[in-house]
Structure 1
């Protein structure tokens, strides 16, 4: 099995997005390609068709490669919780919760075996892999037991392309410093300069310097692309999930920024709506009187509930109720309950009976050991439209049945929808353009904004892949991948 590994000079240089582009380009060219990341750390997971969790980036990359996502594409997923601990998800299922020191000391050998098993499984179905590294490969304090960068490149026997982000400055030092510190430097066969702004011709001297100094070819300089409309994964991307609309009387959407927020990608679809201003609220004073107040998912519902209680959010919700559209997603939905019970601490904080914000009468949440992980599909009746919606659930909390279910999934009701209060456990609820348009329609009518007709737009994967490929020496990329290591 052949492949190529994308590593970066630091976090958030664009490794995931470059891998996504490579997956789509290789798929377009007829390669049997799959994404792979040995270990991912993210609160934003992706649920496979078998109800297993992997990193959201690898799920998105599988979609770009036009293949079904499997646990072998991301055998180890770490989901941070409160108290410096993380859930360890091994091959899609929760193994245990560990702190960083215990994980480093106890999981190394098990992690290597999982990586080897996953690579062997993928080799049975695919001829090529696009492998994503994590953070920086030059973390000298961690490299003796790392299982995400050069260790993976060596076990998979693939070449490495190093990506650097020029937007944040220091690109020459970051590349040269990384190459000076990493083991297996000889595996680095190409460099990519990402997120460039301005005239690329101004960087030609920089390319000549890098190639002369390092002896490694610069494969391309990728210009920054606004609104690629492909989901980002990490909280580093939160800064991008905000916008100021230039439309007069625009819809104002305020998102509560929980201390332990997760799945912020649920908000990203609203970036596609030019008549919406999106901003974040870390305190009740930041909320104001928006058209929509959205409480996203959380990795520690009780801890975030207590944070917002200190902020007096309950009084603010009572003030807004019935006028502002209040939306709760997964953990944010659970905050609407009268009571939350978690005597065993499955959510991270043991509590016999915690009062919620009581927006939904007779709603109670009981946290259970068995995590609910599944895909769901149901029908939602909005004011002037009935829409079929698909998404996925990932939560420990079991919620009592609602008198006003948002949707019906088979014979069962899910969520809550009444008097401008909407709650659901379904992640990806607003991804569907028809659902989003139907939800926003009454708000647009109230503000005398035009209601757009849902239109089919160009596949964002195709658009992004075309952008990347047009600025790369793609023949050289193929040559590097197919060469013997």
Structure 2
């Protein structure tokens, strides 16, 4: 197989971002490439055009590669529901919920077969495969049944580049330690090293590069700069900190948005695009006490365990705080699980949300709605139209829905539809003053004109000036690729992949 595998000395060293850059570099070079990650663990997912669910990172990497995302690019997706159990999504569809030990014992052969099949199909359809590993390849207690690092490199028979993060310190020990723990066969597969997140004058690290190459015998193929706000979505909970900004503006010129950081938070990437607005201040809060001043907007995002998350919010005192926010005119937005919590009640007759059949919980009561969790998950791309306060169509929008719950709004003329989907369905509701909003639609704010319209409504309500001008999303993938190409031995990497330099 023509391709490369990117592994890391630990989590959050930048494997996903470098893989995204490689996908765009290959597209710029005229190579039809596909991303691949055999097994991903994340509650931030991506819906393919055929209604299948994969990890968000592989969806983004497919965009960077200029190809249509496929479930073959991430055959196994693990979505944590609590500290012990995860929902397994196999080839894009909900498969089963396992705890850790049962997963290792009962799923390994099934998972391995799915990985092998996916690689075989992708090899026939693409000129090169950019494979991403997970965590570290030397988690010694998991070596016998791992499905995501060296076992995949062997299966695909591709060379490996090891990535290490210099920002966190210990780069020399992490590289040498990782290589020393690998079996000889796997160590020989590592053909290059990339140092990521370097700050300052690159020449100051020349001696470091020389030391690494002398002590490992593996060439350093790049020292990549720290990119800061690169504009590409983060996938896992380690990236939540990146979706935060306190603008250096006077407080009275900011639109302040607070987001409740739920347990088992899902699809927090819904919110990253808000940082493209020039006057938005966005912060995460776990408890009401952390919200020292009342924000202009409070967002309740999605979670993989809605009832458990709702109970935790009540325990922390969010019930009274949300009521206070409503009384003081704060805009309150619920997305997916957050929308479900804003209703009057939640029911789990089959145990698909809590793991226990028959569980129920009262919601915050902002909407006259009831949610019942089903056995079949709704996963689909949806298109529709954003409506004005008077119900007039404004902008075409596109997003996706992923949910087990079905929410029924009781007859109540006070709450109007603000999104009308293509087939006449209601995509979301808001109150008469538009300040209470609920929707299942992820990526609502990614439609630039819709985001600008909604935020301008919020700005007007608190006396801020509207933001004018055309909204244009920069090509962040080209910017990423162009920013790291000069810092890579790219021709050597292409040769490793079996491509002409």
Whether the TM-score (by the shorter chain) exceeds 0.5 is yes
Matching of residue 360 in structure 1 with residue 372 in structure 2: no
> What's 1:238 paired with?
240
Give the Cα separation in 2 of the matches to 1:341 and 1:383.
Answer: 31
Equivalent residue for 2:350? 344
- Shift of the alpha carbon at 1:468? 1.5
Runs of 4+ in structure 1 off by over 3 angstroms are 349-353, 382-385
TM-score scaled by structure 2?
0.94
Q: How far apart are residue 447 of structure 1 and its match?
A: 3.4
Shift of the alpha carbon at 1:483? 7.9
Give 1:215-234 correspondences, 5 Å limit. 215-234=217-236
- Cα deviation for residue 457 of structure 1 reads 4.1
Structure 1 Cα separation of the partners of residues 429 and 296 of structure 2: 19
Match of 1:72 in 2: 72
Quote the Cα distance in structure 2 between the aligned partners of 1:257 and 1:302: 15
Deviations along 1:153-179, whole A, 9 cap, x unmatched?
Answer: 011010001100000000000000000
Bigger CA drift: 24-33 or 395-404?
Answer: 395-404
Partner of 1:37: 37
Name the structure 2 match of 1:454: 470
Q: Contact 2:389–2:418 at 8 Å: present in 1 too?
A: no
How do 1:111-260 residues align onto structure 2 when only pairs under 5 Å count?
111-183=111-183, 184-248=186-250, 249=252, 250-260=254-264
Coordinate RMSD, CA, aligned: 1.6
Report whether the alignment pairs 1:330 with 2:343.
Answer: no
Query: Gaps (5+ residues) in structure 1?
Result: none
2:420 to 408, 411, 424: 408
Q: Using the TM superposition, give the Cα deviation of residue 386 of structure 1 relative to its aligned residue in structure 2, in angstroms.
A: 1.7
- Equivalent position SS for 2:111: helix
Instruction: Please give the per-residue CA displacement for 1:398-444, whole angstroms capped at 9, x wherever unaligned.
Output: 01147412211121112211230111111111112111111110232
Would the aligned equivalents of 2:166 and 2:195 in 1 still touch at CA under 8 Å? yes
Q: 2:319 aligned with 1:314, yes or no?
A: yes
1:301 corresponds in structure 2 to: 306
2:481 is matched with which residue: 455, 465, 471?
A: 465
TM-superposed CA distance for 1:188, in Å, is 0.6
Shift in Å, 1:475: 0.8
- 1:352 to partner: Cα distance: 4.5
Count of aligned pairs between the two proteins: 483
**How far, CA to CA, are the matches of 1:36 and 1:227 in structure 2?**
25
Where do 5+ consecutive residues of structure 2 fail to align? none
Residues 1:54 and 2:67 aligned together: no
1:431 to 1:155, Cα distance in 2 relative to 1, 3 A:
same
Q: TM-score, normalised by structure 1?
A: 0.97
Give how far 1:306 is off: 0.6
